[in-house]
A and B are shown apart, each in its own frame.
Chain A
Amino acid sequence: MKLIVAIVRPDKVSEVLEALYRAEVRGLSVSRIQGHGGELERVETYRGTTVKVGLTEKVRFEIGVSDHFVEPTVRAIMSAARTGEVGDGKIFVLPVEKIYRIRTGEEDTAAVTPVAAVSE
């Protein structure tokens, strides 16, 4: 079991969701974050006050998957979120010690297998 954490551009979120859906990845969390990854800073001016904004808006996906889902998930995010410019983001794959599904008490791989997939 792995936890995939992906940081992507906000304007690529729809495309990433679409790609994940096609890869049959059904469970995920999304949050808006700010980060810095080597992009050029934006300069903003409000009357006499000029600032450099070093933090850029990003969106973080957190997806818990069973091992054989890692590669398709990573591939889906990679192809959907890439523009080729600096600032496309990162994907981290983290080991996971334990997973529980709160509703049923299922553990580990069973807990991250979508219900629809089980009934198939």
Chain B
Amino acid sequence: MTSTALVLLMIPALGFFYGGMVGHKNVLNTILMSYATLGYSLVAWALVGYSLAFSPGNALIGDLRWALLRGVNLVTSQPLGPSISHAVYMAFQATFAIITTALISGAVVARMRIKAYLTFITLWIIVIYGPIAHWVWGGGWLGALGALDFAGGTVVHVNAGMAALAAALVLGNRTNYGRQAFLPGNVPFVLLGAALLWFGWFGFNGGSAVASNQYAALAFTNTFLAPGACMVVWSFLDLMRTGKVTAMGVATAIVVGLVVITPASGFVPPIWGLVVGGIGAVPSYYVMLWRARTRVDESLDVFAGHAVGGATGAILTGVFAVKAWNGVQDGWIAGNPHQILVQIIAVAGAAAYSFLGTFALLRIIGAATALRATTGAEALGMDSTQHGEEAYTTGEGAILVYPDGADADAALGAGLGKVEAKA
């Protein structure tokens, strides 16, 4: 239960992490894209998604026995969470499904219509997240194959990163992408978001033991160590390249370190957890540099951070897992090189389904309703055009509208008359 609350905090944290990276005209929209998943995706998960992901079903997908929360009671759930009630297990898994959905929003900021987005996050959690969670954790084929994914390197991060790439390709670039610089509007928000994500991530990884035992302790310790190591390597790379240690770099490194350690957290000894975090910085760092030079406006680098970081972590889990620590399986260093192959199959399977499925889902939604805001709306910003609000209002030029509407129009007319007379 504590872990569920911790993971829940990660969703608004992600909103601020992303919100700080966009301009002032889109900050509300970007933060809301994360918050909205706490409503739309959560309801979809409770009604249908959970059952499809975690009920026995077959190797590819669960069945509908727990749909509408039937049978999700206070009795402990065997074999999923032997020490907690089924209802808490459902809620804990819900937070994972929701944050995975929210992660995708980083790819489509500042140009997606809110109606299309809400439709997307409601359906995505059911048709894309549900099956992949089932494959690895719900008794599906990747779990049966022996793929190790402690807290969601494949299910959450590779999945979200590939979905983000697909979403960026379907939506297309922001107008003026490649001509105009899109700079972060509030770097302190990004730093604050990263810190809150780290805090919440203790629940994400530690809670994935689904019991307060020695494996939770191992995951907790690794969640503490890996982001630190990642930050050291990342800022060193920054220093070598630009001569400066950047705040955006430190914030990004914390998140990438957390992503990389996620699949490995309950499987590798702490000293290797430190190494996983350090090595994990390198691929994401260079993919992020490379992505910015491509023509793909995957705006906030969800692919580089999460798909690349998640895949790196999943493969390193196959390298550094030690059975004496995790009680499940050895990796390469403990004499089981085959595990690396299993990890690669799991990553490839999830990546392919997520990318193709998300691409198709957005095409279908796009056939029913426009995905993109107009160029004019983009110029005014999503806050004003999608929500009718601004993040930082001055009140200048705002005329109060009375419930009957008439007074306001009269006041406006008089106001304009004065302006014209002056001109």
Q: Which residues of A contact B (CB under 8 A)?
A: 9-11, 14, 34, 36, 41-46, 49-55, 83, 85
Contacts and interface: CB of A to CB of B under 8 A. Distances in A.
Given A44-B390, A45-B389, A54-B415, A34 B397 contact: yes
A36 to B, nearest CB: 6
A26 to B, nearest CB: 21
Interface string B321-350: 000000000000000000000000000000
Given A14-B180, A85-B376, A36 B416 contact: yes
B388 A42 contact: yes
B74 interface: no
A54 B223 CA distance: 51
A9 B379 CA distance: 9
Interface size range on B against A = 20 to 34
B416 A52 contact: no
A53 B180 contact: no
A41 B399 CA distance: 10
Contacts, number: 53
Nearest to A44: B388
B412 interface: yes
A9 B399 CA distance: 22
Given A49-B400, A52-B412, A54-B416, 4 more contacts: A41-B412, A43-B401, A52-B398, A54-B397
Contacts of A55: 396-397
Interface in B366-423: 376, 379-380, 384, 388-390, 393, 396-401, 408, 412, 415-416, 419
Classify the secondary structure of B's interface with A.
mixed
A43 B408 CA distance: 12
Interface centre among B179, B389, B393, B398 (most CB of A within 10 A): B398
Contact of B412 (A34, A42, A54): A54
Contact of A34 (B388, B396, B408): B396
A11 B379 contact: yes
A51 B376 contact: no
Nearest to A45: B388
B176 interface: yes
12 contacts: A14-B179, A34-B396, A36-B397, A36-B416, A44-B389, A44-B398, A45-B389, A50-B401, A51-B398, A52-B399, A54-B398, A55-B397
Contacts of B398: 44, 51-54
A24 to B, nearest CB: 20
Contacts of B393: 44
B403 to A, nearest CB: 9
Contacts of B419: 36
Most chain A CB neighbours (cut-off 10 Å) among B393, B397, B399, B416: B397
A83 B176 CA distance: 14
A54 B400 CA distance: 11
Contact of B399 (A14, A34, A45, A51): A51
Contacts of A10: 379
Contacts of B179: 14
Contacts of A9: 379
Contacts of A11: 176, 379
Given A14-B176, A36-B416, A85-B376, A42 B384 contact: yes
B402 to A, nearest CB: 9
Interface in B20-60: none
Nearest to A12: B379
A52 B405 CA distance: 11
Contacts of A46: 389
Contacts of B396: 34, 55
Nearest to B408: A52
Contacts of A53: 397-399
Nearest to B181: A14
A87 to B, nearest CB: 10
A104 B388 CA distance: 51
Contacts of B180: 14
A104 to B, nearest CB: 34
A11 B397 CA distance: 20
